[in-house]
């Protein structure tokens, strides 16, 4: 599936090549975009899934994000903070996609992306440890799924290594809101983890 998406990204880039640039500039830009696509695609896809989008809709968002990146860079816009820029565009496009899907279906979407947003490797070699691990993972996943949308997004971006100020910029909220959101989320996760021990 990733190979198909990468091929689709290259085809989109071919269709949107700016006429004002020469072939070598365009090829260099395409290679840069493909490199960024390879590096960031999975992270952006997982972030888009936190909005409760289906896998197909999240894939569309990823395509749109990299098309927007290509257009951004083709217009000689700044390359500074490109990671933050990618997540901010993903945030906005995911919200738009979710609203469009809701309008089309005539209902409010609920998040069912918990299984896609958290992926943990199986560390225990024996069946008892594996069972206990699965129970803990499922319990924590259910806590994350029950978090309000904003808290879930803040938590995901923090897990991706974003600083509080960067999260605030990506989501368009205040620094205090990010701190409160993460404190609430981490408190709920810690309480759920302590109940069993």
Give the tens place of pLDDT for each residue, 43-70: 999 999 888 889 999 999 999 999 998 8
Amino acid 168: pLDDT: 94
Amino acid 52: pLDDT: 87
Amino acid 109: pLDDT: 47
Amino acid 4: pLDDT: 53
What is d(CA 81, CA 91) in angstroms, rounded to the nearest whole number?
15
Amino acid 32: pLDDT: 85
pLDDT along the chain (197 residues), means of 10: 51 44 63 87 91 90 91 84 90 91 68 45 56 82 91 92 92 94 91 73
Amino acid 126: pLDDT: 64
User: Residue 51: which residues within 8 A CB-CB, separation 6 or more?
Assistant: 58, 94, 95, 97, 98, 111, 113, 149, 153
Q: In this structure, are residues 17 and 26 in contact, taking their beta carbons and an 8 Å threshold?
A: yes
What is d(CA 174, CA 40) in angstroms, rounded to the nearest whole number?
25
Amino acid 63: pLDDT: 93
Q: What is the pTM of this model?
A: 0.56
Sign of CA dihedral 110, 116, 121, 127: positive
Q: In this structure, are residues 185 and 153 in contact, taking their beta carbons and an 8 Å threshold?
A: no
Ordered by where they begin, the domains of the chain are: 2-105 (1.10.1740), 125-196 (1.10.10.10)
DSSP code per residue over 24-92: HHHHHHHHHHHHHHHHHHHHHHHHHHTTT--HHHHHHHHHHHHHHHHHHHHTT---TTHHHHHHHHHHH
* End-to-end CA, the chain: 40
Amino acid 122: pLDDT: 38
């Amino acid at each position: 599936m990733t190979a198909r998406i990468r091929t689709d990204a290259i085809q989109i880039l071919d269709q949107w090549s700016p006429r004002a640039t020469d072939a070598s500039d365009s090829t260099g830009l395409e290679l840069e975009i493909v490199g960024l696509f390879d590096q960031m695609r999975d992270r952006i896809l997982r972030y888009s899934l936190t909005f409760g989008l289906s896998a197909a809709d999240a894939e569309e968002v990823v395509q749109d994000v990299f098309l927007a990146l290509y257009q951004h860079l083709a217009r000689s816009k700044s390359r500074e903070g490109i990671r933050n820029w990618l997540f901010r565009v993903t945030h906005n496009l995911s919200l738009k996609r979710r609203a469009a899907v809701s309008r089309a279906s005539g209902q409010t979407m609920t998040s069912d992306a918990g299984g896609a947003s958290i992926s943990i490797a199986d560390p225990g070699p024996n069946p008892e440890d594996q069972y206990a691990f699965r129970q803990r993972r499922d319990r924590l996943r259910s806590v994350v799924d029950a978090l309000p949308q904003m808290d879930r997004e803040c938590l995901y971006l923090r897990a991706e290594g974003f600083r509080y100020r960067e999260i605030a910029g990506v989501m368009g909220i205040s620094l205090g809101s990010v701190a409160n959101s993460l404190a609430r989320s981490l408190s709920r996760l810690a309480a759920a983890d302590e109940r069993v021990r």
